[in-house]
Amino acid sequence: MKRRTGHAALVAAAAASLAAGMSPAADGGVGVDQVVFDSRNGVSAIEAPSVATAGTDPKVIVAYVAADGPAGSRQTIWGVNGCGLSWLGSGGETVSNHANDQDGVAAAYYAVSYKPLADCVVKARLGTGGYAASITVTVLSGAKPRVTFTKASGASGAPQAVAQAAPGSLVFGVGNDWDGAVSRTLLPGQSIVSESVNTDVGDTFWVQRFTNPALEPGAVVVGTTAPDDHQWNFVTATVHPA
């Protein structure tokens, strides 16, 4: 059992990586307008810092959640809510956006806003409370009002999953490593959006993305190359251009 209270220690580069995770929309592509992140220990629910949107163009808001959990018993993210929006998967698991075959959990949810939002706070609830968790929220423009997910889990090996991209798509991934607090080494062409290397509980939670939008349609591999000897759960989220 791994339970600690208080605020999780973050990697030193976390703040810088949040800024690096933002990117303007290219012609015909998806842009990342905002990224916010928090990571805490010993929680039953976790909230992200607030985001805001302007204008009437649709915004796709994606919440990435990763958490610790009891050994040998599946942790869950029991829903995401906030901002008066309807969230895919809110109130329970769906087939592809929720990975927990190994200890801990990684999950992603999305909502679409068609009007300006102020002080929008997104909150995720853990199925089994009292564990460390992280949440990362991205606000995206120039996107279709639909996000597609895939998932994978492994007792060992490098966390990776296959996603289907279209030209202009942005592909993200969220993962949890229950076995160790170790920074990720990513596949080429991918960047860290947020990372919590939590030495208090010996876990790592992270969000990554392809640095640039996809150029061609087809399958892409999202993930890391190291460490490769820990158990993990991983979910991809593909945001398609409008």
Digitized pLDDT (tens) for each residue of the chain, 242 residues in all: 465 544 544 443 444 445 555 666 555 679 999 999 999 999 999 999 999 998 889 999 999 999 999 999 999 998 899 999 999 865 555 567 999 999 999 999 999 999 999 999 999 999 999 999 999 999 999 999 999 999 999 999 999 999 999 999 999 999 999 999 999 999 999 999 999 999 999 999 999 999 999 999 999 999 999 999 999 999 999 999 99
Per-domain boundaries in the chain: 6-241
Q: Are 96 and 110 in contact (CB under 8 A)?
A: no
Query: Whole-angstrom Cα distance, residue 126 to residue 54?
Result: 31
Q: How far is CA 10 from the centre of its chain?
A: 16
Residues in contact with 76: Cβ distance below 8 Å, sequence separation at least 6, in sequence order: 92, 93, 98, 100, 105, 126, 127, 128
pTM: 0.91
176 has which bridge partners? 205, 233
User: Among all chains, which residue has been given the structure tokens 């999202």?
Assistant: 222
3-state helix, strand, coil in the chain (%, to 5): 5, 55, 45
Closest CA to 108 of 82, 142, 147, 69: 147
Q: Where are the alpha helices (DSSP H) in 156-234?
A: none
